[in-house]
Amino acid sequence: MEKKRCNFSFGKEGKVSSKALLYHDTRWCKPEHRDGELFAMLILEGMQAGVSWDLILEKEENFRKAFDGFDPAIVAGYDEQKTESLMQDKGIIRNRRKIEAAIQNAQAFLKIQAEFGSFDCFIWSFTDGKTVDHHLSDVKDMPAKDELSEKVSAALKKRGFKFVGPTIVYSYLQGIGVINDHWEECEFR
């Protein structure tokens, strides 16, 4: 018997890629507290701007390899030569502004770690460490952004982050489990 899933997790003509299905079932809206993964998701969400999440999932392994496993301490030190190398990497999104933002975001990420002890402490402080569960009955009820994502977006921008508008941040908060938008009947909530 097929499991009930969120009705948006299926792509064109009811088809879903195996990577998208695995992401929905095991990672999306699941609380994440490891700083390395919090940074990885921040960069992947920024890279997703203007392209499909399916494309990002298809290229995720390439991104992880190209960006040194998303180690913020390494990414923060990237120079122009590394940027040019990334611009030639066909396995990732080759957008100079996004690549430069990833480097800048790594630098800002490290500053937050130094100030708060971890990025986890910072990002989860906006909800006192609790997941915001919207108990959706249908994905049409899911907003693209909300008051929380606007607040987090403003805080990140103030600290020097790029590609962190309220819509990207809303998706990021879902991706790391700060927001749970699995619909009520989804067996993976």
Q: In this structure, what CATH number is given to the domain that contains residue 56?
A: 1.10.340.30
State yes or no: pLDDT of 15 exceeds 90: no
Q: Is residue 12 part of a domain?
A: no
**Best CA proximity match to 46, nearest among 118, 125, 109, 129:** 109
Let me know if residue 76 belongs to a domain. yes
Q: Give pLDDT, residue 32.
A: 98
pLDDT higher than threshold 90 for residue 2: no
Q: State the pTM of this model.
A: 0.94
Residue numbers annotated as active site: 23, 45, 53
Show the domain range for 57. Answer: 32-180
119 and 165 Cβ atoms separated by less than 8 Å = no
Residue 11 lies in a domain: no
In whole angstroms, what is the distance from residue 171 CA to residue 163 CA?
Answer: 12
